[in-house]
Amino acid sequence: MSTAGSTREREMDAPANAAKLASCLSGLRAVLADLVEGLVPELVPFAEATSLWSQFAEIERLAGSARLLLARRVSDSRQWSHAGFANPAEWMAAQTGSSVGRARADLGTSERLALLPDVEDAVRSGGLSPEQADLISDAAAVNPEAANELLGAAGRESHKNLKDRCGRRKAEADADPEATRDRIHRARRARCWTDSEGAVNLSARGTVDAFADLRARWERATELRFREARSAGRREPREAYAFDALVDLLGPPAQPISSQPEAPLPEARRPSRVAPKHLALIRVDLSALVRGEVRGGELCEITGLGPIPVATARELLGESILQLVITKGRDVANVTHLGRGPNAAQKIALLWTHTGCSVAGCSRTLTQDDHRTPFAVCRNTRLGNLDPLCPHHHRLKTHDGWALVAGRGPRDFVPPDHPEHPWRSRGSPQTSLRPAPPDDG
């Protein structure tokens, strides 16, 4: 049968299929409405709660996928205009109770999916959430060759890490990154408003390089606030100390945070001396730095913030707050340092390979350098024996026997009874808490 004939048959069957779909959805909606109406969370056994939650999450993901696929068709139908709405995004927002901005983003994703069949297939199968589909389609529309890589990353990386990866691949395909930077600079903005509760909110948007210095000073000020509070016995979320630090930076500071390398605290409140180290680190491949542009998976970015043009990186290299790491620079992989923590060269090398926690799927960037073989045993520090871990995962490893599986970079983090736990794979008994020798690769 010819393709034209198949297309005509599908077009003829479309009304019947749409009617069947509407009937099925009506039945599903009725069943789901009954289930939700009868749901009493306090009566659900603990053993069943996570399973039920996961199934509802899967249903939500599939429903979101269908909503994304249909969005462009809703826009083309112009039925929203008959209901008195100025544009399809406003109609969608009214139906979902979300913001117009969110609905507009969904519509843009739907339109991009029509041009990206592999990504659309992943959405259709429920393999991507609407948020993941938005990120991947946005990057793949500019850099189609990165689509398969990004689809693979979606199943194993956190939303933040996937967002960073998509940003890199999108920047890699930018034909004129300096023009993009100039456009973002021209559209820079900062605004302050008071919400319905009476709380003041601050929002700012601008180029990565413009924020790098402020970010480094803000992180250091936050760490000083955090340490001071801990020494005084106060415990609040880190975000609270970040707010206090921002107020210090914008107004007359309570402590001379940025004027001295290490601002002393009052004697009665002085915490243990753990000097915070926050760098605005430029990560750039040497070949890209020499060539003047990134190609084929190369990097040129400020760690924790995002990609920058190579020309901007060159301009920033003279700033004292910035340090440069190049992939073919000093080899520190085999350097052994006799101190407990990494030296400056090792710290920078770790920042190159690990922008956050080593646990796959963890997006925390505040980390502690964990020795695979405890320092008390090996009495030295080598890169091959270090894994940056966030405080939560570091506690699980130290006190509950969890560990990273063998390998390098972000990877799975497993409990002691897991078959891939390094103690088990080396033949140690399950109950043994002996440290495993480092994996030198």
247 CB-contact burial (10 Å; exposed 0-12 / middle 13-18 / buried 19+): middle
d(CA 430, CA 369): 25
pLDDT above 90 as % of the chain: 31
Predicted confidence at residue 134, as pLDDT, reads 95
SS3 296: coil
pLDDT digits (tens, 9 = 90+) for 137-194: 999 999 999 999 999 999 888 888 899 899 989 988 888 888 988 998 999 999 888 8
Predicted confidence at residue 373, as pLDDT, reads 74
Query: What is the pLDDT confidence band of residue 303, given thresholds at 50, 70 and 90?
Result: confident
- What is the mean predicted confidence (pLDDT) over 350-365? 78
Nearest to 135 by CA among 172, 100, 97, 108: 108
Q: 158's torsion region: left (phi>0), alpha (psi -120 to 50) or beta?
A: beta
> What's the mean per-residue pLDDT of the chain?
80
- What is the mean predicted confidence (pLDDT) over 61-77? 93
d(CA 348, CA 254): 31
Helices and strands of the chain, counted as H and E runs: 18, 12
d(CA 127, CA 155): 8
Structure tokens at 432: 């043994």
Predicted confidence at residue 30, as pLDDT, reads 92
Strand blocks (E) in 261-303: 280-284, 300-302
Residues 6+ apart with CB under 8 A from 41: 49
Predicted confidence at residue 440, as pLDDT, reads 39
d(CA 308, CA 348): 19
In angstroms, what is the C-alpha Rg of the chain?
26
pLDDT above 70 as % of the chain: 78
Predicted confidence at residue 338, as pLDDT, reads 59
pLDDT digits (tens, 9 = 90+) for 242-296: 999 998 888 764 444 444 444 444 444 444 444 444 456 777 887 888 788 888 7
Residues 6+ apart with CB under 8 A from 333: 349, 383, 384
Strand blocks (E) in 98-199: 189-194
CB 35 within 8 A of CB 52: no
Predicted confidence at residue 140, as pLDDT, reads 95
- What is the mean predicted confidence (pLDDT) over 28-55? 93
Nearest to 173 by CA among 138, 198, 203: 138
Q: Within a 10 A sphere around the Cβ of 63, how many other Cβ atoms?
A: 16
pTM of the model: 0.65
CB 74 within 8 A of CB 88: yes
Pairing of strands 403-404, 413-414: antiparallel
Which residue has better confidence, 315 or 221? Answer: 221
Nearest to 122 by CA among 200, 65, 183: 65
SS3 200: strand
Q: Within a 10 A sphere around the Cβ of 194, how many other Cβ atoms?
A: 9
Query: What is the pLDDT confidence band of residue 1, given thresholds at 50, 70 and 90?
Result: very low
Query: What is the pLDDT confidence band of residue 334, given thresholds at 50, 70 and 90?
Result: low
Predicted confidence at residue 136, as pLDDT, reads 96
Predicted confidence at residue 274, as pLDDT, reads 40
d(CA 147, CA 117): 10
Query: What is the pLDDT confidence band of residue 91, given thresholds at 50, 70 and 90?
Result: very high
Burial of 252-288, coded b for 16+ CB within 10 Å and e otherwise, reads: eeebebbeeeeeeeeeeeeeeeeeeebbbbbbbbeeb
Predicted confidence at residue 253, as pLDDT, reads 47
Predicted confidence at residue 321, as pLDDT, reads 43
Report the 3 state secondary structure along 347-397.
Answer: HHHHHHHCCCCCECCCCCCCCEEEECCCHHHHCCEEHHHEEEECHHHHHHH
Would you list the DSSP string of 297-365?
Answer: T--EEETTTEE--HHHHHHHTT-TTEEEEETTS---TT-EESSSS--HHHHHHHHHH-SS-SBTT----
- What is the mean predicted confidence (pLDDT) over 72-87? 90
